[in-house]
């Protein structure tokens, strides 16, 4: 779409792009056209008002305290000393201009109302019965994703990293386990709140493969800032492969180190909050870790997934993401090494 020069300059000049305008799916594309219209209107109106103000400033200077003020003819004092009458012809002219501007305002507002309604209708038309249903549950401060399937054994539970197939409509069912959160991926969707006790829906569709960052947009407590997630849009084949892989239980560790790590996980405090399918750990307070090593981030997008950060997170999550719900653990170095090896094996 036509990108205005200033926007281009800012995109290239300042590092991050104006992601909201960088539509990667039909929904945001629609919204983008409405945005362009409003941006254009705003630019014209602002320019006109500022020019009118500057025009008056340049052409109508020269007042002073000494200048006799002008008021309506009928209220000019009888002696005529305090004020003189305004020029009625000029007032009439100005009245016509003001009336015209008010009329234009009404027309513009009407255009915006219609454009808004038609955008809403267009978005509604994008809804599809074949959409892939994904449940999104907000937690303080991480995201639970459940890729739904008519077959209950094929419901996929993961956290903080969502894969979607390119070209297929996805419907997100949003809910929260605790406080209000809000879901937005600027390139792919509009925004919707996750409210406890209420189910909201949001549609998205990616037209091209890519990796997008999303995060929580409703202030949700101490770590609102670090409640991020990743959306990976990939070809339907890749998506199916990902889905099938994620549906499998975690591989049983074979190396002794990893086996010991699994013991640490199951016997230590980890299993009180986290689940790893196929091991008996089934708690749902924290993110599901069945395939944690397949994700690119840790701690809801706060850290990259690698051994160093993983170790730091386990030992000292409170200094990396202060106030989060994961308690600090003290593990003997050997146990920690084993746990790290095990977790890294959960591809």
Residue pointed to by tokens 């281009």: 8
The answer to whether the beta carbons of residues 314 and 336 sit under 8 Å apart is yes
- Between CA 212 and CA 257 the distance in angstroms is 35
- Between CA 313 and CA 229 the distance in angstroms is 17
Closer by beta carbon to another protein, 79 or else 237: 79
The answer to whether the beta carbons of residues 250 and 290 sit under 8 Å apart is yes
Alpha carbons within 13 angstroms on the beta-carbon side of residue 97 total: 7
The answer to whether the beta carbons of residues 30 and 122 sit under 8 Å apart is yes
Q: Which two tokens stand for residue 56?
A: 């008056």
Closer by beta carbon to another protein, 223 or else 262: 223
Closer by beta carbon to another protein, 125 or else 245: 125
Closer by beta carbon to another protein, 179 or else 293: 179
The answer to whether the beta carbons of residues 242 and 163 sit under 8 Å apart is yes
What minimum distance in Å lies between the beta carbon of 10 and another protein? 6
Closer by beta carbon to another protein, 120 or else 236: 120
Closer by beta carbon to another protein, 88 or else 278: 88
What minimum distance in Å lies between the beta carbon of 98 and another protein? 4
Closer by beta carbon to another protein, 215 or else 290: 215
What minimum distance in Å lies between the beta carbon of 324 and another protein? 10
Closer by beta carbon to another protein, 19 or else 243: 19
How many CB atoms are located within 10 Å of the residue 228 CB? Answer: 18
- Between CA 273 and CA 199 the distance in angstroms is 25
| Residue 33 per-residue DSSP state | H
What minimum distance in Å lies between the beta carbon of 130 and another protein? 22
CA 176 to chain centre: 16
For the CA atoms of 23, 25, 27, 28, the dihedral, rounded to the nearest 10 degrees, stands at -10
What minimum distance in Å lies between the beta carbon of 310 and another protein? 17
What minimum distance in Å lies between the beta carbon of 71 and another protein? 5
What minimum distance in Å lies between the beta carbon of 34 and another protein? 5
What minimum distance in Å lies between the beta carbon of 151 and another protein? 28
The answer to whether the beta carbons of residues 331 and 339 sit under 8 Å apart is yes
- Between CA 247 and CA 54 the distance in angstroms is 66
Residue 331, classed as helix, strand or coil, is: coil
């Amino acid at each position: 779409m036509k990108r205005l020069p200033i926007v281009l300059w800012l995109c290239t000049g300042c590092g991050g792009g104006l992601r909201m305008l960088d539509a990667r799916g039909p929904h945001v594309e629609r919204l983008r056209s409405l945005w362009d219209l409003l941006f254009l209107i705003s630019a014209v109106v602002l320019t006109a008002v500022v020019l009118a103000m500057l025009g008056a400033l340049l052409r109508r200077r020269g007042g002073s305290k000494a200048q006799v003020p002008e008021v309506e003819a009928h209220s000019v004092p009888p002696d005529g000393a305090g004020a003189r009458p305004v020029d009625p012809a000029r007032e009439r002219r100005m009245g016509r201009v003001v009336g015209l501007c008010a009329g234009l305002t009404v027309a513009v507002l009407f255009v915006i109302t219609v454009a808004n309604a038609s955008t809403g209708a267009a978005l509604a038309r994008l809804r599809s019965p074949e959409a892939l249903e994904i449940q999104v549950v907000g937690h303080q401060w991480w995201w639970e994703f459940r890729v739904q399937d008519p077959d209950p054994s094929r419901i996929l539970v993961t956290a903080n990293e969502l894969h979607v197939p390119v070209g297929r409509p996805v419907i997100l069912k949003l809910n929260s386990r605790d406080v209000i959160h809000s879901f937005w991926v600027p390139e792919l969707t509009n925004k919707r709140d996750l409210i406890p006790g209420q189910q909201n829906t949001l549609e998205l569709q990616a037209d091209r493969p890519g990796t997008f960052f999303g995060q929580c947009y409703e202030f949700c407590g101490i770590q609102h800032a670090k409640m991020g997630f990743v959306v990976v849009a990939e070809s339907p084949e890749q998506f199916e492969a990902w889905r099938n892989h994620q549906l499998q239980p975690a591989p049983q560790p074979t190396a002794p180190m990893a086996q010991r790590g699994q013991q640490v996980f199951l016997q230590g405090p980890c299993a009180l909050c986290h689940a790893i399918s196929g091991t008996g750990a089934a708690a749902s307070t924290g993110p599901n870790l069945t395939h944690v090593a397949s994700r690119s981030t840790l701690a809801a997008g706060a850290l990259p997934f690698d051994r160093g950060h993983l170790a730091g997170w386990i030992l000292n999550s409170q200094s990396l993401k202060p106030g989060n719900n994961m308690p600090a653990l003290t593990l003997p170095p050997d146990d920690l090494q084993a746990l790290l090896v095990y977790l890294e094996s959960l591809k």
